[in-house]
Amino acid sequence: MATFLYRLGRFSFRKRHVVALFWVALLALAGAGAAGAPAAGNSSFSIPGTEAQKAFDLLDERFPGASADGATARVVFKAPDGQKMTDPGNKSAVQDTVDELSGGAEVTQVTDPYQGGGVSQDGTVAYASVTYEVPGMELEESSREALKAAAEDARDSGLTVEIGGDALQAVPETGSAEIIGIGVAAVVLVITLGSLLAAGLPLLTAIVGVGIGVATITALASTLDLGSTTSILASMIGLAVGIDYALFVVSRYRAELAEGREREEAAGRAVGTAGSAVVFAGLTVVIALVGLSVVNIPMLTKMGIAAAGTVAVAVLIALTLIPAVLGYAGRRVRPAGEKSKLLGGGRAKDKADKPNMGTRWASFVVRRPLAVLLLGVVGLGAAAVPAGSLELGLPDDGSQPTSTTQRRAYDLLSEGFGPGFNGPLVVVVDAQGSDDPQAVFQQAGDEIKALDNVVNVAPAAPNKAGDTATIAVIPDAKPSSAATEDLVHDIRAAGADIKDGTGAEVLVTGATAMNIDVSQKLNDALVPYLVLVVGLAFLLLIVVFRSILVPLKAALGFLLSVLAALGAVVAVYQWGWLSGLMGVEETGPIMSMMPIFMVGVVFGLAMDYEVFLVTRIREAHVHGEKPAQAVVTGFRYSARVVTAAAVIMIAVFSGFIGSSDSMVKMIGFGLAIAVLFDAFVVRMAIVPAVLALLGAKAWWLPKWMDRALPNVDVEGESLAAPAGAAGKDDEDKELVRA
């Protein structure tokens, strides 16, 4: 592989016009497709194989035209102090609002609070439900404006009016913090590479890669039903790995220049060595992201595949576009150790051979490996403790900032009708095979009323055929509570008894039931997913490192860092620690997808640092150094770059904490803290400590396996004297002058 990549690097350097034109054309093509494509909607959320999804599908079949997936809005009214919503003036204002909303172009139904039981018992709060014929993200802006205008007209009469539901749902915004993250990355690159131009190359190429990835996702969003957050997550991951991969290739290129090689030869060797590590690091990320498909939740599968595609583009750009732009830069990209004049270059060095920080740190670790190992493991273990209290759920209006009208509507409904009113359960009774469907509907309603934690059970509402009915059930606890989850299980248990006696099927659905089912499905899929992803990556790392213990150490270190990161997420978003600093206005359950998504992404990113760091250590060991000295040598050449890469990734991920979407905000924080733990505790402390303790045994591999495994040559041994390189000196000089 090293030889192939070496040739690819030299080709890209030499034919830089062709390579650059190819990537620019690809970016333009993707951009044109995105510009002409419909806007990304809210991806249809389905969880195949669950009862909630089965009931939802049955509703679509038995209640045609009901717009089960249409947007909804709850316009919530509160009377002024000392008044009731039943007072004539307030009632008239509400009636005017209902009439105004009923005339909307995309509105299918508006319920009158005074005819549909939408007034609280104390008479202070009322609500009108609005149903639209299209999903929230597909609503015309005029429909949203009409909804807001109707609420504003009602406010003019003296009422407090707020709007809940998904009709006002908008594409999440990431905020200015994302720009700050890129700015931090730029500063780190300048410090690491010692040149404004060299620092700009990874940023430029990463932006090109993310541009291609996000534009392609946007172009295909409508066709493939990709959600609005898919492109945000793809850009988050693609930007981070794109900068990192480019940084490793540029750093190796400068190191090759420092050894006196001509520029085309240095580009070839950089791609042949660092590029090999990029390929395998990228493969681990892709495996982890594509592996999310085993969960069998279409939205999660699409998010994983889209992000994996962006990572694949980042790898290809690092292998081809980076050497091409290095060719354009020429002598303006200086050898390692030299800085540009703007940054203090040209000054005499006080101590040319002074050990760098990486050398000093590695020397300290190999002298005290056991102490460093114990401190790292105990520290991460302590950080992981909150993960034992992990509670899972999906975000709703109750997790919105208190400044939003959706959150204020949620609070008003809880105040007037009880906390369970925001998470109603929909019970679907399929009595198609029953002799007396009406009796079955009555029996189901009576048995549900007898259960604990039930506030209200609405009369059964049958379809036109009379063989299927829906029963709305209001719990007495909030949607994310354990009591509501117990109620769902109790209704399903009662439904099983009804089926045994009558043959009718009783199913529970609704947003709350969906949340419970998806949490259970994700929990059930976590272990198989870990086995698949970690197993495949373990085999891949055996091939890369030709060792059993090094990949095993990598996998165990990952588990430590991901558990510690989950603990930090629980502490901030569930317990409320540092919530003000992180912009968390409402604590609550952790998003159901968070653990498995973090496992996938963090595993891939953790293996990035493992590959980049340990390949340098193995390279020194293969060249004859003793194990302890190989660790020091590896850190001498790679610690600075790995540290810079980690800081860049943390900065990029932290930028997404400023997003308006609670899911994106939580994922940004989780990934940032996970990279912090993995890069600086696991890879920089635990890894060298373990390698120092194991010594030569770290590189042990059974002889039969050594013979069976392919030699991928990540260390670039085959490049010791590449064929034909010597005859190109004159051509190299001409290319450099050009």
Mean pLDDT on 447-468: 89
How many Cβ atoms sit within 10 Å of the Cβ of residue 723? 8
Task: Assign 89 a pLDDT band (cuts: 50, 70, 90).
Answer: very high
**pLDDT (tens digit per residue) in 459-501:** 888 888 888 999 989 998 888 788 888 999 999 999 998 888 8
- Integer Cα distance of 108 and 144 in angstroms: 14
**pLDDT (tens digit per residue) in 405-419:** 888 998 999 999 888
Assigned token pair, 191: 């410090």
Statement: residue 289 has pLDDT above 60: yes
Asked whether 249 and 274 are in contact (CB, 8 A), the reply is yes
Mean pLDDT on 606-610: 79
pLDDT on residue 137? 64
CB-facing half-sphere around the CA of 32: CA atoms within 13 A: 6
End-to-end CA distance of the chain: 29
pLDDT on residue 589? 79
**pLDDT (tens digit per residue) in 128-183:** 988 888 776 667 888 888 999 999 999 999 999 999 887 877 655 555 555 777 78
pLDDT on residue 610? 83
Statement: residue 47 has pLDDT above 80: no
Assigned token pair, 584: 């968390």
**pLDDT (tens digit per residue) in 435-445:** 888 999 999 99
Task: Assign 523 a pLDDT band (cuts: 50, 70, 90).
Answer: confident
What share of the chain in percent tops pLDDT 90?
28
Higher model confidence: residue 116 or residue 721?
Answer: 116
**Helix %, strand %, coil % of the chain (to 5):** 65, 5, 25
**pLDDT (tens digit per residue) in 255-267:** 888 888 899 999 9
Mean pLDDT on 283-294: 85
Assigned token pair, 519: 């949490």
Mean pLDDT on 334-338: 73
- C-alpha closest to that of 198 among 317, 321, 326: 326
Element (H, E) at 468: strand 468-475
Tell the burial category of 734 from Cβ atoms under 10 Å away from its Cβ (0-12, 13-18, 19+).
Answer: exposed
pLDDT on residue 349? 46
**pLDDT (tens digit per residue) in 664-703:** 788 889 989 998 999 999 999 999 999 999 998 988 888 8
Assigned token pair, 303: 């998010």
Average pLDDT of the residues of the chain? 83
Region of 246 please: left (phi>0), alpha (psi -120 to 50) or beta.
Answer: alpha
Statement: residue 591 has pLDDT above 50: yes
Q: Which residues contact 623 (CB under 8 A, 6 or more apart)?
A: none
Instruction: Output DSSP code: residue 695.
Output: G
pLDDT on residue 728? 45
**pLDDT (tens digit per residue) in 542-586:** 888 888 998 888 888 888 998 999 999 999 988 888 877 777 767
**pLDDT (tens digit per residue) in 219-273:** 887 777 676 667 777 887 888 888 889 988 988 898 888 888 899 999 999 998 8
Mean pLDDT on 520-532: 84
**Distance of alpha carbon 710 from its chain centroid, rounded?**
34
Q: Which residues contact 644 (CB under 8 A, 6 or more apart)?
A: 188, 189, 191, 192, 247
pLDDT on residue 730? 40
Rg (CA), the chain: 30
Q: CA separation (Å) from 41 to 132, 220, 623, 678?
A: 15, 11, 55, 35
pLDDT on residue 140? 81
**pLDDT (tens digit per residue) in 296-324:** 888 788 888 888 999 999 999 999 999 99
* Structure-token match 């400023």, residue found: 658
Statement: residue 342 has pLDDT above 50: no
Q: What are phi and psi of 651, to 5 degrees?
A: -65, -45
